[in-house]
Amino acid sequence: MKEENCIFCKIANGEIPSKTLHEDETFRVILDVGPATRGHALILPKNHFANLCELPEETAADAMKLARRMAALMTEKLSCDGLNLVQNNGETAGQTVFHFHMHLIPRYGDDGQKIGWTPGQPTQEELEEIRKTITA
Ligand code: AMP
Ligand code: ZN
């Protein structure tokens, strides 16, 4: 399940070299070439799935287990103060490479990066309307 012309398919399967932190049958973990911080890494499945919704449940579960292991390893080795797990789906959400991936972004007290949003102030009625829309 590879997609022609997908750069992450080629990287994950070793056709394009990368700074690899971990490799197994299903995944490759690489250093991002445009890192937000020192040690910014990407978890790539070797098979092609465009986004989270396309990911089989078992691969999703395995990806999260691997994220946990990598987060613990990177926190220890890089002595970072925290770590963001980021995953973008769709252009509007900031996805630029349409092969599912998870970002592991080590955080340091003085890194100057911001990963976040401006909180809204919905009423209870608005929250209830949204809850009904999603669960109906
Ligand atoms: P996203 O915006 O969530 O799709 O993230 C794509 C990420 O892939 C960005 O952080 C890029 O810096 C990174 N990236 C793009 N091309 C490469 C590459 N050839 N090797 C490593 N990282 C890459
Ligand atoms: Zn791909």
Quote the ligand 1 centre to 95 CA distance (angstroms).
Answer: 9
pLDDT reported for residue 2:
85
| Ion ligand 2 contact residues with beta carbon within 5 A | 3, 6, 8-9, 48, 99
Task: State if residue 88 touches ligand 1 by the CB under 6 angstroms criterion.
Answer: yes
Ligand nearest to the CA of 31: 1
Q: 135: which 2 tokens?
A: 């669960």
How far apart are alpha carbons 21 and 89 in whole angstroms?
Answer: 24
State what percent of residues in the chain have pLDDT above 90. Answer: 97
Q: Is 61 in the pocket of ligand 1 (CB under 6 A)?
A: no
Per the rule left: phi > 0, alpha: psi between -120 and 50, beta: everything else, 120 is: beta
Alpha-carbon torsion (12, 13, 16, 21), positive or negative: positive
Closest by CA position to 105, among listed 29, 49, 41: 41
Is residue 17 predicted with pLDDT exceeding 90?
yes
Please report the pLDDT score of residue 111 as a whole number: 97
Catalytic status, residue 22? no
- Say how far apart CA 68 and CA 71 lie, in whole Å: 5
Share of the chain above pLDDT 70, in %: 100
Mean pLDDT value of segment 43-62: 98
- Distance CA(46)–CA(25), nearest Å, equals 8
Cα–Cα distance, 21 to 98 (Å, whole number): 21
124 has pLDDT over 90: yes
Residue 12 confidence (pLDDT): 98
- Is the pLDDT at 72 greater than 90? The verdict is yes
Residue 132, pLDDT score: 98
Q: Residue written as tokens 């999260």? A: 64
Residue 66 has a pLDDT of 98
Q: Could you tell me the pLDDT band of residue 34, with boundaries at 50, 70 and 90?
A: very high
pLDDT at 1 over 90: no
Instruction: Indicate the DSSP class of residue 125.
Output: H
Beta carbon of 94 within 6 Å of any ligand 1 atom: yes
